[in-house]
Amino acid sequence: TQIFCNQLQVGQLPVATLFDLLRIDHFRGFEAYWEIPAEEETAVNGHWVEAPGEELFGVLYRELPDLELVAEDLGVITPEVEALRKAYDLPGMKILQFAFSGGADNPYLPFHHTRDAVVYTGTHDNDTTLGWYTGLDDQSREFVDDYLGKPREIMPWPMIRSALASRANLAIIPLQDILGLDGNHRMNTPGTTEGNWDWRFDWEMVKPETESRLMHRVKMYGR
């Protein structure tokens, strides 16, 4: 536990003094993790092992009481994982690019969002929203358009608007989406080793019309 707390410091400074928010990746692993025998060549044969999540987060918040965390609660999430997240009032994640499959029960659809969440159009591991949208098949794209009201704005702004309008307490929009960039500008493609984390930003990319549009939407939805 102390080792984990030490990882959340830079020198003598707690990271809470350097960043507004930290995301805990693979949060479900703090409730239980998949243990694989050392001799196994794949991850198929293993079993779940209970993790000391409550003890860890209890110590963490005693040591760093001002720490603001977000739980990456993506993937297969059990009631026990949800209970751990809620026990420490950690917001979960809602990814809009995951919302438009599986019908009305899809938990990422905006009308399922709750206040204790952070909504994203997409994360660093997703395509840009424009790249994602153009890669959809016709039926999926029609559903997206229908859900978003066949807006007059072109992608990705309808998704940005939907994120900002969400009940989630916080909305995070990747800069590539604000700039309307296609999939050639995605940050990372999981499972690959080349071409990742190469994208760079320059303030000249931000045009006055982009500034005014974003400001208008942020004010409209009280962000």
Residues forming the active site: 25, 72, 125
Strands 32-35 and 117-120: unpaired
What does each C-alpha distance from 207 to 8, 179, 184, 215, 217 come to in angstroms? Answer: 36, 9, 20, 13, 16
Query: What amino acid occupies position 84?
Result: L
Structure tokens at 163: 């994120």
* Dist CA 132 CA 96 (whole Å): 11
Place of tokens 């794949």: 42
What is the DSSP annotation of 174-215? Answer: -HHHHTT--GGG-S--TT--SS-S-----GGG--HHHHHHHH
Task: Give Cβ neighbours of residue 82 (< 8 Å, ≥ 6 apart).
Answer: 73
